[in-house]
Amino acid sequence: MAESMLTVEAALERLTAGLRPTEAETVSLADVLDRAPVDRAVTATHDVPPFANSAMDGFALLAADADDPRLVVGESRAGGPRPPSVGPGTAVRVMTGAPIPPGADAVVPVEEVDERGDRLVVRVAPARGAHVREAGHDVPMGTQVRLPRRPIGAATVALLAALGEVRVPVHRRPRVAILSTGDELAALGAPLGPGQIHDANGPALAAAVRAAGGEAVLLEPARDDEAEVESRLRDTVGCDLVIASGGVSVGRYDHVRTVLERIGSLDFWRIAVQPGKPLAFGHVDGRPVVGLPGNPVSALVTFELFVRPMLRALLDLPGDGRIHVPARLTARLPKSAPRRAYLRVVVAADPGADGYRAAPAGGQASSQLLPLVAGNALLIVPEGLEAGEAGATYETILLEPVA
Ligand code: AMP
Ligand code: MG
């Protein structure tokens, strides 16, 4: 079981199966941007808009009344005093957003009248209801509004604000512990000694966690030492998820997998994917632990494929939240194994066709970060193929906007 190679889909199913969304917490409207809404209806306690108002600057009158010229008996402005009533032979000057005066049923824009002192000649007769925004024409009182299951954006903030909602229930950001492992990792900010490298995965995974809506808890990196890895993994009480990187393979000093097996449980550790074949998943004291491969590109790509959907499940959001588009590959992209590959590409609009094209973003070794930075997408070459062929179309996952 632990030795079997899983498909990406099967792995994803197992990784997310046991996850329950975090509990709700209430935040103010000012802090709600990008938070995951709790999936329940918001009831409109009043009409939006709350009263009938004018869509134009003009004059409110009775549409059926052709009694010109008519007398302008007052004005109605947004937030102003209650306007006088309108009857046959009269009109009230109205501004955009101002209440429609009692008795009026239409607004004539200022451009369609002639004003002569306090008299008004209507040049274009309005239809009944013209330029009147009825109370509740946007959201009638009592409507059960369901927010879309995606991070809250400005449009939803506008709707919540218009409804008068100032405290919004959202899912608590999942707390994610991040552990880098390896004797070769230099201390943060320290100059490199012989054989040392900077820890790229810790800061990178912390950033990826935050971008996915989580709260990152960056642990002190562990040396390739079973006891140290064990103590770090145990020291994650209160976290919803633990991500380790490095030490998950079959190398002599790869301890994450063995420690998981010994102090908790190991559910599997190989996935038919490139980059990222060695990937461990298990539990320590009930907390899910994902062991990602150590190469920074592998760590980030497997985070994207497996951990990001886990974070979204913890936020009760569906899928990976990414846009997938088919794109025509501009140059052959060989891959090194029959496993399904996720290759680093630049996707752009294809001027010749009605879609997108994808150009290789650079070298595809899992130790090469530059192409991951230069690219904006992952191109999926299905299992069994030797390469992505020039001119063929493949599914891509957009990680950044298309230029
Ligand atoms: P491992 O999976 O521990 O065998 O690591 C595979 C490769 O990734 C090795 O070249 C490591 O030096 C490198 N690596 C592991 N962890 C990190 C890290 N936190 N930052 C940068 N490179 C790493
Ligand atoms: Mg290592």
pLDDT for position 371: 97
CB of 360 closer than 6 angstroms to any ligand 1 atom: no
In short, whether 275's Cβ falls inside 6 Å of ligand 1 is no
Task: Output the CA 214–ligand 1 centroid distance in Å.
Answer: 24
Nearest to 101 by CA among 63, 54, 138, 147: 54
Rounded Cα distance between 401 and 398, Å, is 7
* Ligand lying nearest the CA atom of residue 365: 1
Q: What is the pLDDT of residue 351?
A: 84
Distance 246 CA to ligand 1 centre (A): 5
Q: What is the mean pLDDT of residues 273-292?
A: 92
60 or 251: which leads in pLDDT = 60
pLDDT digits (tens, 9 = 90+) for 76-112: 999 999 999 999 999 999 999 999 999 999 999 999 9
Q: What is the pTM of this model?
A: 0.93
Ligand nearest to the CA of 184: 1
pLDDT digit string (tens) for 150-190? 999 999 999 999 999 999 999 999 999 999 999 999 999 99
Could you tell me which of 309, 179, 276 has the C-alpha nearest to residue 232? 179
Cα–Cα distance list, 322 to 8, 168, 398 (Å): 16, 25, 6
Q: Is the pLDDT of residue 392 over 60?
A: yes
Measured in Å, residue 182 CA sits from the centre of ligand 1 at: 7
Q: Does the beta carbon of 151 lie inside 6 Å of ligand 1? A: no
Give 40-83 as a 3 state SS string: CCEECCCCECCCCEECCCEEEECCCCCCCCEEEEEEECCCCCCC
Q: To which residue do tokens 């760590």 refer?
A: 299
According to the model, what pLDDT value does residue 199 have? 98
CA atoms within 13 A on the CB side of 294: 23
What single-letter amino acid sits at 143?
A: T
CB-ligand 1 contact for 200 (6 Å cutoff): yes
Q: What value does the mean pLDDT take over residues 17-42?
A: 96
Contact 35, 159 (CB under 8 A): no
In sequence order, which ranges of 252-329 are alpha helices (DSSP H)?
A: 256-263, 296-302, 308-314
Residues 6+ apart with CB under 8 A from 320: 304, 305, 308, 309, 312, 397
- State the pLDDT at residue 3: 53
Mean pLDDT of 230-239: 97
Q: How far apart are CA 68 and CA 363, in angstroms?
A: 78
